[in-house]
Chains A and B, each alone.
Chain A
Amino acid sequence: MGRQMTGADIVVQALKDQGVDTVFGYPGGAVLPIYDAIFQQNDIRHILVRHEQGATHAAEGYARSTGKPGVVLVTSGPGATNAVTGLTDALMDSIPLIVLTGQVPSFMIGSDAFQEADTVGITRPCTKHNWLVKDTDKLAGTIHEAFHVATSGRPGPVLIDIPKDVQFANGKYVAPAKADLGHYQPQVKGDKDAIIALVDLMEKSERPVLYTGGGVINSGKGASLLLRELVKATNFPVTSTLMGLGAYPASGDNWLGMLGMHGTYEANMAMHDCDLMICVGARFDDRITGRIDAFSPKSKKVHIDIDPSSINKVIHVDVPILGDIGHVLEDLMKIWKSRGRKVKTVEIKKWHAQIDEWRAVNCLSYKNSEKIIKPQYALQRLEALTKDMDRYVTTEVGQHQMWAAQYLGFEEPHRWMTSGGLGTMGYGLPASVGTQIAHPDSLVINVAGDASWLMNMQEMGTAVQYRAPVKQFILNNERLGMVRQWQELLHGERYSHSWSESLPDFVKLAEAFGGKGIQCTDPAKLDDAIIEMLEYDGPVIFDCIVEKHENCFPMIPSGKAHNEMLMGDADTQNAIDGGGAVLV
């Protein structure tokens, strides 16, 4: 028999028993009992955001930088609908979130009550699963099941909708160990025969490539270590999606850089010409594959993934391995070692020589300027001045995000928190706050664009309130840079609504929030300005005025193959034909 307590106390007790130390939220009528319970305890810290979307992204920053689930508490109606973007973002990137929403009392559901919305209906397609709890006795069990669902298998966001009368009523509390977690038990061990098939291919391959993704990060630290061991032992080259950066260190000998639409030349050429592609926890997203029928035509493809629906969804693979990356890599190493650690050493050396030729193209080079700060230069200087620090980086979405992925190096997993699948402008600032709350003594930088940053700028207030010394590094080109780039390439240079009119004075804005503002326009003064930002003990908005019409290269245009990259502005004439233009 469990203890009797109110639904609100059950929520707080269940969160404590799940090891939650931080909740991001915003109160309102339908969650007042839970806020009352939070008021009367000291174990869980509540971070008051300025907008519910900010709460979800902050929780994502917390989750992505710790590997633990992020927890959000918001009210009914608009509180819940404002959380939808963050839920969708977390679903696309497989980030574990537990979102608790208040709901109007159960006897008023369906009456169009004040601040009523069909929260489980609205969030059904943007959560891994959701629940409406109508019985206080079932509340504790549902919360424990929700943590189980969010964190096992392919992680994702879950939502629990709790009517106000359920929060007030008494019910019995069930501890996590005694809760019924339901029948959801995804398979983590890979099929041995499939792993042996992969070892066969590894032993014969002359041009292998490892294509890694967010699944390696989600699988935990052990998976990254195993990946590094695998690369070191086999000498296979390794590339990664945007989501997987840091799983293999950027300083590693076998690192090709990121692949895909704005990936490096060497990574994309290696993908195109390889004879064995080992996809480790990635999902053949359209930003990665380019034109499907021209995708890596000469390779055998192996796909390791925990989600059966990811396998053969876009690209038909020769060897699917269903399981958790850490478990599969561990078994893979065991089997490969037991068979004598065989690889085609000589051929792989030749393959590396070919890759070095591609690398010599130096695809990330750009024309620097002494008069105006180039965005690439700004990020190179930021990298040079912060790479040895205990650093976490979030981004907004757009050109700056791609440049950050290209010019910043990540040595460890959980250090790079970006909105990949959904591409959510306005994600970076709140995510940086959530990351900083989780790592109060580390350096947290949000690489931003001026347009994205404004979308959730109210969270600067949260940063100041909680003394979260986040550094907002805004590459200000007074443009919606990526939109502008696509309009240049695809829409005859008709720049429809892609510039930022009436931008605020970011220095004054920082001061108005109670933070520090720094503006830099001169390349010669950039280093000093960055150092000033780093040395300031508090939140900073860094307004880096950059070249307005810089394009992000390399670029695989929509509808083109990996070996049809645009390397710079000179390549862009008629780069995208009619077929590609309809793609996003």
Chain B
Amino acid sequence: MNAVKLKKGTSSHSAYDLKSFIGDTEETHTLAVLVDNEAGVLARVIGLFSGRGYNIESLTVAEVDHEGNRSRITIVTTGTPSIIEQIKAQLGRMIPVYEVHDLTVEGPSVERELALFKVLGMGEKRVEALRTAQIFRASVVDSTLESFVFELTGTPEKIDAFAEMMRPLGLNDVARTGVAAIARGT
């Protein structure tokens, strides 16, 4: 059966290109949702997830088109294939939603997250922290005699790995933005 194109306003996701529902293994998907930048729109999206018991692993939101008054919400979520399809359909039918893209299945995409790490330490540990940061290409954005703040951009896995390395070296605090993602190519 051919996939039908839904008109804008419902969803760019089609009910016809559904994946098989067989299997109940949980998958992680990254969704990009283009919405009207209106009051309460984030609450609507979050309310949908909490109200229907869907997971949010990470969520980022910011205006991306000031003229067109659009915001882009990037949500990393987990669920069985049928739950993922439900999430997309439920998002797609919301009135302020223009488009829903499942970057995990729509082709190659890049995902990045930014994180800030505060590491406290003196002497050898401090040197080791700085050396590790160089390996990860993290940059130092603040420094005192007893602390560094590193800025690191990368995939969530890279940020996890860096946090793991920093833990024995005096990791004190972490701030992560959540994932921003975009499709590759044209």
* A residues with CB within 8 A of B: 120-121, 124-125, 128-129, 132, 149, 153-154, 182-187, 191, 193-194, 197, 307-309, 311-313, 316, 319-320, 322
Contact = CB atoms under 8 A, between A and B. Distances in A.
A124 B4 contact: no
Interface of B: 1-2, 4, 6-11, 13, 15-16, 18, 21, 39-40, 43-44, 47, 51, 82, 85-86, 89-90, 92-96, 98
Q: Which of A183, A311, A313 counts the most chain B CB atoms within 10 A?
A: A183
Contacts of B93: 153-154, 307-309
B9 A319 contact: no
Contacts of B44: 124
Contacts of B43: 121, 124
Nearest to B43: A124
A330 to B, nearest CB: 17
A311 B21 contact: no
A57 to B, nearest CB: 23
Chain B, interface SS category: loop
B62 to A, nearest CB: 21
Contact of B47 (A124, A183, A193, A313): A124
A186 B92 CA distance: 11
Contact of B82 (A125, A307, A308, A316): A316
A316 B9 contact: no
Nearest to B40: A120
B95 A193 contact: no
Contacts of B13: 308
Q: Which of A132, A308, A316 counts the most chain B CB atoms within 10 A?
A: A308
Nearest to B50: A125
B89 to A, nearest CB: 4
A181 to B, nearest CB: 10
Given A125-B47, A308-B15, A312-B21, A322 B4 contact: yes
B15 A320 contact: yes
A367 to B, nearest CB: 44
A312 B7 contact: no
B7 A308 contact: no
A187 B86 contact: no
Given A308-B10, A308-B15, A312-B21, A193 B89 contact: no
22 contacts: A120-B40, A121-B40, A121-B43, A124-B43, A125-B47, A125-B51, A129-B96, A149-B95, A183-B98, A184-B9, A186-B7, A193-B1, A308-B6, A308-B11, A308-B89, A309-B90, A309-B92, A309-B93, A312-B21, A320-B16, A320-B18, A322-B4
Contacts of B98: 183
Contacts of B7: 185-187
A194 B90 contact: no
A187 B82 contact: no
A320 B21 CA distance: 14
Nearest to A128: B95
